[in-house]
Amino acid sequence: MSELNSIVLKILSNGKGILAADESTATMTKRLDSVNVQSTPENRLSFRQTLFSSSSMSSCIGGVILYDETIKQKIPDGKNIPELIQSANSIPGIKVDTGAKILANSPNEKITEGLDGLRDRLKEYYKLGARFTKWRGVYNITKDYPSKLSIHSNAHALARYSALVQECNMVPIVEPEVLMDGNHSAQDCLTKTSEVIKKCFEELILHKVDLTGVILKPNMILAGAESSNKISGSEVAKMTIECLKSSVPTEVPGIAFLSGGQTEIEATENLNLINIENKTEFIMSYSYGRALQQSALKYWSKDIKDIEGTQKVFNHRAKMNSLAAQGKWSKDLED
């Protein structure tokens, strides 16, 4: 077993998953604005420190994706954030892309940037304690999209990023997100997501990336948010597994789904159904942002000094997702 593979297994084994706390300052400001809390570096740190020091970190959260601001912050006792995460036996990670920009010659699509200077940034993040990284490509579904141009260029960027990350002894999360926006059917989502993931792995193999040291972070197969033809959770599970079996090489050890606009309960329920249905060798877990944090954020915003109460809300959500990652969740546990 390689060192990279052992990092993946530590992050995703035994019902553990990933807390995606890598919101940019702009995104975090929107989240805090939505609950009427001022977005200052202190408040952003306070909320994240509350989550990172909760008891479920050691039992449910194998890794935390951080943002550049957060990985460099210190808590009042002098520990830095990576040390706080490591003290819970969880692994610090870092988002390293610089965001999705308009794709040249296809203005309705996006390409993720951030390869320039990445090698040096990775060395700095490694010194700060990061052992895995994240890069997100985004694709929208319409009659004409995602285009071949978008599928190829984002796959190429994800592969170049992954090669640089492994060169620096870190695990790359490969996140090709086919967005829920639109009125497309689940079948369209299945077709397009399969095409996107296959192209990503073609490029990863071409760039000599060690697939045993990679985590795939895909969307689940869902009908578009505006579609009138929604599918059941069991259909989500069947179609998602069908997609991954046909698109992902068997050497890949783990898949950590993004929640992508689902509610907290939907994201948990669908993950649970996927794991009940899963007959593959892949570990199927979670890498959730909002679907792990939203209830805790709402609770915290009422009294940012009530750390214990906020942690109780977060611990519940983390526990539910950990059970779902083992196919052991049920709705009556939510009460």
Q: Is 217 annotated in the active site?
A: yes
Neighbour-count burial for 28-62, b at 16+ CB within 10 Å, e otherwise: bbebbeeeebeeeeebbbbbbbbbbbbebbebbbb
Radius of gyration for the chain, computed over Cα atoms and rounded to the nearest angstrom: 19
Catalytic residue of the set 175, 177, 203, 264: 175
SS3 of 195-260: the string is HHHHHHHHHHHHCCCCHHHCEECCCCCCCCCCCCCCCCHHHHHHHHHHHHHHHCCCCCCEEEECCC
Residue of 143, 207, 129 whose CA lies nearest to 174:
207
For residue 94, the tally of other CB atoms under 10 A from its CB is 27
Write down the catalytic residue from 134, 192, 199, 217.
217
101: annotated active-site residue: no
By annotation, the residues acting in catalysis are 175, 217
